Structure 1
């Protein structure tokens, strides 16, 4: 699936308006739909309906090739080149006007591009030809080149390779791991290690291990207890014996049984076990008349509170770290890309060097797919995610209103997550947020089975989102149809002319 179906789903569920930019030199296909008084006409230009002022005679329902001669002044100027017919004559006319040589297969592809509404110039076609001279015109090649035209990216082999690496089947996680294992103690190795650390949710592990070590100790474990005091879990003025004494009274247990009960709870669920310790710690503070100190202490480790756990599950902090590492944040960053570029030349291992070069190209592809378009910001990235004992690549596309700090407005945005799992295969989760109201859609070939099991967690999800001041509007499940195309329709039958001109012909 990768980018192809992923981007298609994103376009289908996006409510952003379609835009069309005219650039001097562009050759565009147009059709006259209706004539108005004062030499104006309604035209369909590259799939967009516009009004033009005519200074040349045009015939209704006739197709024409136009060349954009100027975009300066009040209106863009279009020059009518020639009337054309449907079918293969469309491309033949363009080829003759541009005086270029293309084979039969390329002509067919160019015809499809025109029908999709892409403006072409001689320079663009020549650039496409330079790429095709080194690449076979496969379906993937067509798809990548179409995206480059759609996003108005430079039509260069370097940009093509970057997008090809993003759309490739190689595992991003495995590439990162191989490079990290080559030199784990280098600056690059440490940055990659931090990416996996963020992805595994391992931030809680040091605290959890310290807590479990304290519980497992048959005798007093002063070192572990002092570490818990340092984390402000227990008051520094209270001895270990004091804590266990309060706990025994609180849970009506013998003092020797307290740790065993806590340990059993922790092994069952660390979340529940931690909540029990919170209750214990609060009791200690209250008996000492230090409730305010208790509240302040818990703020120091608030990342373990319910609210913060949910934030981590939603990936807010991890995504921020990934954006920074991959150079997608507006605050700078790009540590991973910078280190790769700095170290790749000094690597002796040819295999590792090749992986590093591919990774540089791939991250560059992330950056190319992450663009600001007017009031909207778009981000695309892949991150490693630990599923069971295996690392999986998660593709994330994030689009929304751009804030003053160039970030995406969390009140109005659309997020798509894609991952391929061993049993479920392609899974897409669409999160649409409007005024902090969330609509969740889960797309998978086993949608009915997921719905049956997923409905059990809806109430819990609603509650946890409310703690973050979000409201869940609904959760829907639908099957993922492989290879389905998104039909784009534009009706002109209801168009009524109210004055104003978009361009001059």
Structure 2
């Protein structure tokens, strides 16, 4: 349950293009003049060697327009951009672009220049059009600057999504959707209510038994095998049970209620009072326990890690099956498979460097299995270096544990189905710790709101093709907008969709060296009435994830007792410095009380707590918590990352 790793895999977005693009206007400073009219120019956060079209002065700042970028970056000077000539510079630029140099337009453009945000002329014209129509110029300007900085499309739908995210509360909108849909009879509305209840981590109005009947009968009605496949993986259903048999059992139980195009949950619930007990494979509490067990066994490995593990396990199994015992036999294999031997040794070295088996071992609660996996990592490579002298029984047992773990891994769609079941069962799972409950709520938010729908890959395996994409909150709301019987007001559904789109647009920003995530959760995740904001940034690993050894995490909270609170975690070489910002000095006592638990918890995850500081919140620090802008936060508090 590594939060950093989980969030790193959240949203797959295009990398923000750091290199200048043809046609962009950008502020730059001449750092060094080179022969043949070339220069080293500071463009934003990067330095580039560029071909200039005029003689310029070292140390001076200019507004450039990017010409060709094919072989050499060519920069055309628009005007000098020194502070002393700021107003005339902006006015000249706007006139050249055919934009009225009004006071507000000059202010927007000057901030783009000051922040060295590159922009296309067409984008600035579109931004100005959006800017002129809005009354709150300050908020509009900040949103437009964010759109241009993140290189988002400058169009109305994107602006509305970011504006709704900025101005509205996720928690309040979810409550409004739930209130309006609470008495609806449409399938999408009822499903939205159930999903929001899970997203907020609250107890549902119906029992786990009742909601499970609705879930299963809805799937059976559309021939979806999601829960069926999940139940087999979790050991809830026998592996030999066919889907046809499972479907027939539930259809027979429901009888006439399941015939025809019926999707109303009330219909299925009505059958509970008229029929014998529903044919669940086992008691609900035991089912919930099995789901919890497989939930904690999931480990999303990177593609290279999966491939190395698969190759290593296959080669080990081949050697064990042959049960090579004589030195001459082993020598023969060695002479005819030197390439394979070297490849397997490299795979094991790679798995060791990535701590893959260590991560898998940590998922097992039994010490025996943990030890078997550790022994496997140590002894299995010797099959290919020492041959006959290797003790094979521990390797066989370790391989068996690995294969058992591998057989319980779920594809992306079934992981979503599992999250949906866990969200439903969480309120009735008394065995969940507080940390586990929070993790389930966060996973539900990340997997089932629709944040990843556009980036979901097409099904490839037979199992994936037999499963159906889980309905997200966004897709359910889109269905409600098309259904005249829906009781959710269109303006409420649209706002909820907009805030989810806003979350998706700002969830990740990526450059060639770094990653930044900005996320927002309903406050119920931590028992608060107000939304929780989380910003995380760090250097990017070779696999494209945030390096958990070197990163920076900030939580913006509005707690019931301590009110506005910012928690800043600075991680360098797995050493963690924690700073808590709050208006109340009395927060020091509870912080000191929990320091030992914090230190112990970090040590369990392989981190070391080096400091815990309490600082007073200043006015500049908390202004960015609503729009969740890490850049403004860093500027306001002046923290070095």
Equivalent in the alignment of 2:433? 309
Q: Which of 171, 174, 177 pairs up with 1:173?
A: 171
1:426 is the counterpart of 2:560: no
Equivalent pair of 1:64/1:82 in contact (CA under 8 Å): yes
Equivalent in the alignment of 1:465? 602
Q: Secondary structure at the match of 1:92?
A: helix
Specify whether residues 418 and 179 from structure 1 end up closer, same or farther in structure 2 by C-alpha distance, changes over 3 A only. Answer: same
1:102 is the counterpart of 2:225: no
Q: Deviations over 1:316-357 (max 9, x none)?
A: 333222111123346576711111111123256887221111
Specify whether residues 377 and 115 from structure 1 end up closer, same or farther in structure 2 by C-alpha distance, changes over 3 A only. Answer: closer
Q: Which of 588, 594, 598 pairs up with 1:451?
A: 588
Specify whether residues 27 and 407 from structure 1 end up closer, same or farther in structure 2 by C-alpha distance, changes over 3 A only. Answer: closer
Is the strand fraction higher in 1 or 2?
1
Equivalent in the alignment of 2:616? 479
Equivalent in the alignment of 2:476? 339
Equivalent in the alignment of 2:325? none
Equivalent pair of 1:195/1:322 in contact (CA under 8 Å): no
Specify whether residues 125 and 194 from structure 1 end up closer, same or farther in structure 2 by C-alpha distance, changes over 3 A only. Answer: closer
Equivalent in the alignment of 2:73? 76
Q: Secondary structure at the match of 1:429?
A: strand
Moved more, 149-158 or 114-123: 114-123
Q: In structure 1, what is the Cα distance between the partners aligned to 2:588 and 2:602?
A: 19
Q: In structure 2, what is the Cα distance between the partners aligned to 1:325 and 1:385?
A: 17
How far did 1:157 drift? 1.2
Equivalent in the alignment of 2:92? 93
Q: In structure 2, what is the Cα distance between the partners aligned to 1:482 and 1:472?
A: 28
Moved more, 399-408 or 369-378: 399-408
Q: Deviations over 1:421-471 (max 9, x none)?
A: 35533212233445544333222222x321222101111222233334443
How far did 1:197 drift? 3.5
Equivalent in the alignment of 1:114? 113
- TM-score where L is the length of structure 1: 0.64
Equivalent pair of 1:64/1:80 in contact (CA under 8 Å): yes
Equivalent in the alignment of 1:324? 447
How far did 1:139 drift? 0.9
Q: Deviations over 1:275-304 (max 9, x none)?
A: xxxxxxxxxxxxxxxxxxxxxxxxxx9x99
Equivalent in the alignment of 1:383? 521
Equivalent pair of 1:385/1:392 in contact (CA under 8 Å): yes
Q: In structure 2, what is the Cα distance between the partners aligned to 1:334 and 1:360?
A: 14
Q: Secondary structure at the match of 1:133?
A: helix
Q: Secondary structure at the match of 2:450?
A: coil
Equivalent pair of 1:188/1:336 in contact (CA under 8 Å): no
Equivalent pair of 2:569/2:579 in contact (CA under 8 Å): yes
Q: Which of 492, 498, 501 pairs up with 1:355?
A: 492
How far did 1:189 drift? 3.8
Equivalent pair of 1:46/1:114 in contact (CA under 8 Å): no
Q: In structure 1, what is the Cα distance between the partners aligned to 2:609 and 2:431?
A: 16
Q: In structure 1, what is the Cα distance between the partners aligned to 2:536 and 2:285?
A: 40
Q: In structure 1, what is the Cα distance between the partners aligned to 2:533 and 2:54?
A: 50
Q: Which of 531, 550, 558 pairs up with 1:393?
A: 531
Q: In structure 1, what is the Cα distance between the partners aligned to 2:489 and 2:429?
A: 42
Specify whether residues 40 and 196 from structure 1 end up closer, same or farther in structure 2 by C-alpha distance, changes over 3 A only. Answer: same
1:182 is the counterpart of 2:180: yes
Equivalent pair of 1:340/1:356 in contact (CA under 8 Å): yes
How far did 1:227 drift? 6.7
Query: How much is the aligned-residue C-alpha RMSD, in angstroms?
Result: 4.1
Q: Deviations over 1:205-225 (max 9, x none)?
A: x99xxxxxxxxxxxxxxxxxx
Q: In structure 1, what is the Cα distance between the partners aligned to 2:602 and 2:522?
A: 24
Equivalent in the alignment of 2:197? 196
- TM-score where L is the length of structure 2: 0.52
How far did 1:138 drift? 1.6
Equivalent pair of 1:178/1:352 in contact (CA under 8 Å): no
Q: In structure 1, what is the Cα distance between the partners aligned to 2:60 and 2:100?
A: 27
Equivalent in the alignment of 2:145? 146
Where does structure 2 lack aligned partners over 5 or more consecutive residues? 1-15, 209-281, 290-421, 458-469, 622-631, 637-641
Q: Number of matched residues?
A: 382
Equivalent in the alignment of 1:29? 27
Specify whether residues 337 and 403 from structure 1 end up closer, same or farther in structure 2 by C-alpha distance, changes over 3 A only. Answer: farther
Equivalent in the alignment of 1:254? none
1:366 is the counterpart of 2:503: yes
Q: In structure 1, what is the Cα distance between the partners aligned to 2:62 and 2:513?
A: 33
Moved more, 148-157 or 83-92: 83-92
Equivalent pair of 2:66/2:76 in contact (CA under 8 Å): yes
Q: In structure 1, what is the Cα distance between the partners aligned to 2:610 and 2:202?
A: 28
Where does structure 1 lack aligned partners over 5 or more consecutive residues? 1-17, 208-225, 234-300, 489-505
Is the helix fraction higher in 1 or 2?
2
How far did 1:229 drift? 9.2
Q: Secondary structure at the match of 2:620?
A: coil
Q: Secondary structure at the match of 2:70?
A: coil
Specify whether residues 453 and 104 from structure 1 end up closer, same or farther in structure 2 by C-alpha distance, changes over 3 A only. Answer: same
Equivalent pair of 2:37/2:51 in contact (CA under 8 Å): yes
Q: How does 1:399-418 map to 2 (within 5 A)?
A: 399-400=537-538, 410-418=548-556
Q: Deviations over 1:464-494 (max 9, x none)?
A: 3333444333322222222366559xxxxxx
Specify whether residues 135 and 190 from structure 1 end up closer, same or farther in structure 2 by C-alpha distance, changes over 3 A only. Answer: same
Q: Which of 65, 68, 86 pairs up with 1:67?
A: 65
Q: Secondary structure at the match of 2:529?
A: strand
